[in-house]
Structure 1
Amino acid sequence: MANGTVNRRAVLGGFAGAAGLAALPAFAQDGTTEFTQPASASVRNNSSSFRILQWQDYFESTRNGAILVDITSRALHYWSEDQSTYRLFPTSVPLSEDLTRRGNTEVVQKVVNPPWRPTASMKERNPDWPDLVEGGAPDNPLGTRALYLGWTYYRIHGTHDTRKIGRRSSNGCIGLYNEHIEELFEYAVVGTQVLLI
């Protein structure tokens, strides 16, 4: 409130903050479900719609585990094969529909500190980008871990630029905070089912 007027952003922000805190216990279904904001996260204005989903609505089974990426809500859901673990992470998603891929695929490779090479179309849009950023470099767009998908050039990966999470900001991939991709990387295996909707 300034000069006797109500600041709409302060009211909505206060409501969203209180509602978000009140809703946090809802993330725990069986004691193994967690949502934790990474230590490196600061106050963010990014938006991501979190709601728990049931794997049965999207997969026939959880064989090898299952990852569901909801592009609209900018959230990634993970279920372990034995269904004892469920995780929900905020994501970055592609900038536009023409960069977005939807459908079924799977994890085909797991890479620690992946190198990044822009595709030809990325270089065309951004000619000043380097041809290669080595894995482990602090400015590597793939962050600390990457799950390579069955579609060429598509990844679920980390990012050092935490401002991107919760936004339409990628060239096609799904981005996570580095802390979150490192956790998901430990759960996922080559063969984990992936569905982007």
Structure 2
Amino acid sequence: MRRLDRRAFLATGTAAATGLALPALAQGVPDTVQMEASLSSTTRRNTASFHAQDWRPYFSNLRNGAILVDIGSRALHMWQEDGRHYIYPSSVPQSEDLTRRGRTRVVRKVVGPTWRPTPNMRRRNPEWPAVVEPGPDNPLGSHALYLSWTYYRIHGTHDDRKIGRRSSSGCIGLYNRHIAQVFAMSKVGTQVLLI
């Protein structure tokens, strides 16, 4: 039997911190939580902050499903009406002044959205185009859920480096493969809460 020395202990801790021990992270997480094991290296460091949430403190029911975005842990939680729960790593706003918290809902769903920078974005970045059509250069990625708050979206991104970071101008970003899943499960009227 090998003796556990300081070097081995530190190597084990480093492996856990970098996500190499990801299967151990899932121990004790309910089976209803769906987490992708093959997270990118960018988001691996944030997986320790993912934890199962119970929807009941946040929503009175799951009619039309429910989405909770935890800004602090950079995770989007989704519950379907039958209670199935999914967790996705997300990007969140760059700063507190760009962050909006509270209750809203999905008011529109768009595959291949067109992006129009807000007036404030155009003032800060006058070189930006007024419109970006769907495609690989579109900051909204492949799908977008439009919220009842003007200019706020839950959308995909073609830039995977943004996920797991404070990198947006107010929206919540997901990998394109994840927004496609959330998009399919969402309805117009799905409840959304940002905390």
What range describes the TM-score normalised by the shorter chain of this pair?
0.7 to 0.9
Question: Across the two proteins, how many residue pairs are aligned to each other?
Answer: 187
Q: Is the 8 Å Cα contact of residues 27 and 34 (structure 1) preserved in structure 2?
A: no
Matches within 5 A, 1:174-193: 174-193=172-191
Q: 2:194 aligns with which of 188, 191, 196?
A: 196
In the alignment, the residues of structure 2 paired with residue 29 and residue 64 of structure 1 have an alpha-carbon distance, to the nearest angstrom, of 22
Query: In the alignment, does 2:167 pair up with 1:169?
Result: yes
Question: 1:25, CA displacement in angstroms?
Answer: 4.6
d(CA) in 1 for partners of 2:20, 2:137: 35
What amino acid does structure 1 have at the position aligned with 2:34?
Answer: E
Partner residue of 2:110?
A: 111
Q: Is the CA contact 1:93–1:168 (under 8 Å) kept in the aligned structure 2?
A: yes
Whether 1:95 and 2:94 are equivalent positions in the alignment is yes
> What TM-score results when the alignment is normalised by the length of structure 1?
0.87
Give me the whole-angstrom Cα distance separating, in 2, the residues matched to 1:94 and 1:183: 22
Q: Could you tell me which residue of structure 2 aligns to residue 139 of structure 1?
A: 137
- Gaps spanning 5+ residues in structure 2: where? 1-6
One-letter identity of the residue aligned with 2:14:
G
**1:130 partnered with 2:129:** yes
**Large movers: runs of 4+ above 3 Å:** 9-13, 25-28
Secondary structure, aligned partner of 1:55: coil
In the aligned structure 2, how far is the partner of 1:80 from the partner of 1:161?
A: 28
How far residue 158 of structure 1 moved from its aligned partner, in angstroms, is 0.2
Pair 1:74-2:74 in alignment: yes
Distance 1:54 1:42 in 2: 26
**Aligned equivalents of 1:152 and 1:74: distance in 2?**
22
> Relative to structure 1, is the Cα distance of residues 27 and 141 closer, same or farther in structure 2, using a 3 angstrom cutoff?
farther
Counterpart of 1:35, as a letter, is M
Identity in percent:
58
RMSD of equivalent CA atoms: 2.3
In 1, Cα distance between equivalents of 2:37 and 2:21: 16
Partner Cα distance (1:161, 1:27) in 2:
29
Tell me what 1:157 maps to: 155
> Which one is further off, 92-101 or 43-52?
43-52
Q: In 2, Cα distance between the equivalents of 1:27 and 1:127?
A: 46
3-state SS of paired residue (1:56): coil
Retained in 1: the 8 A contact 2:23–2:37?
no
| Cα deviations by residue, 1:140-162 (Å, 9 ceiling, x for unpaired) | 00000000000000000000000
Q: What are the ranges of 5 or more consecutive residues in structure 1 without an aligned counterpart? A: 1-5
Return the alpha-carbon distance in structure 1 between the equivalents of residues 133 and 108 of structure 2.
18
Q: After superposition, what is the alpha-carbon deviation per residue over 1:42-86, rounded to whole angstroms, capped at 9, x for unaligned?
A: 432653520000000111111110000000110000001121x21
- What do residues 154-185 of structure 1 show as CA deviations (whole Å, max 9, x unaligned)? 00000000000010000000000000000000
